[in-house]
Amino acid sequence: MPDISEHEPALEKNYGDWAEYFASLGEPPYRAAQICQWIWKRGVLNASDMTDFGKKLREKISETIDFSFPEISGYVKSDDGTKKFLVKMPDGTTVETALLRMGPRLTACVSVQAGCPVGCPFCATGTAGFERNLTAGEIAGQFIVMEKAAGRAINNAVFMGMGEPFLNTEATLGAVRTLNSSKMRGLGIRHVTISTVGIIPGIETLASSGLGARLAVSLHAAREELRNELAPSNLKYPLKDLMPALRDYQRFTGDRITIEYALFKGRNDSLTDARELARLLHGLHSYVNLIPGNGNRNGYERSSPENILRFQSVLKSAGFESDIRTGRGGEINAACGQLKNPSARNHVPNKVLK
């Protein structure tokens, strides 16, 4: 039996790669479309089950391609229908992901890194440390294995799980292309959102890529000193540089930008904070997503519902469209800022469903 570990990983191949592979075997070009359909639309991750290939071709594929994919080790389900998955990569690296149910629609919240190097003090992922970047195939593969587990199509992908997408830009955009390609998963690009803490080079790369994925920016503060505390990346990419970059992005793409703002009691939830945010966003076509922050041991407490409503009223009076995010998955630590690398805390709750 050949050593599969030395073989080309199916996980990392795009349509062009498959076309070249089958050409090297003397097979017709349509074979590439067939295998992409099997993997990315049917979730079949074993060449021996791809029945429109002849037996000898299936054997050849099995001998030369590594079909190791991410695996779901277990999951926890909350009362609101959210599922948090423990996903193991082929090398044993583990990440957490979430599947959110919103009416009849499903949204996959995928991770781009094992851990996160940004270190936002209110975020569980950031306090767990950083292990490594995920590959494009590992990122897109999370979507496929969650879809298999759900037993139905997932409607949206949000790159809002563990890690900062634009500290792993090439792999992130590679995963977007895999999921979006009509030859592969075929997920509509307007159903894909990339969330960044404000890494300017990545924002510029997304703009020039022409992909058209939606952009969300985790702002959390409208003045430099406070944002340095809440989002340490601000020390390298401060608001004075980030805001012009967002305006350039908008001029280039014409797209509205989602601004994500997590509210914490006594930290960033005052009326003054709201007025500062309105001034900062002036002239930017944006939608503000207000997120009741999740408390943690670092002294961060969720803002009160009354303060959140007052904060929102300031933004609406200033002409900004704004909603308050409905928290999902909080009871299983699957909500915003709660995903944490299980390898750092041996986390698979006893009520995991096998």
Active-site option among 96, 138, 164, 260 = 96
And the tokens for 282? 């002036």
> Does residue 290 sit in helix, strand or coil?
strand
Cα separation, 3 vs 8, in Å, equals 11
The residue annotated as part of the active site, out of 36, 116, 120, 336, is: 336
Q: Is 336 a catalytic residue?
A: yes
Give the torsion sign (CA, 60, 63, 67, 73). positive
* DSSP secondary structure string for all residues of 24-50: HTT--THHHHHHHIIIIIT----GGG-
Output the DSSP codes for 64-95: HEE----EEEEEEE-TTS-EEEEEE-TTS-EE
State the CB neighbour count (10 A cutoff) for residue 1: 5
Distance of alpha carbon 347 from the chain centroid: 20
Give catalytic residues, as residue numbers. 96, 336
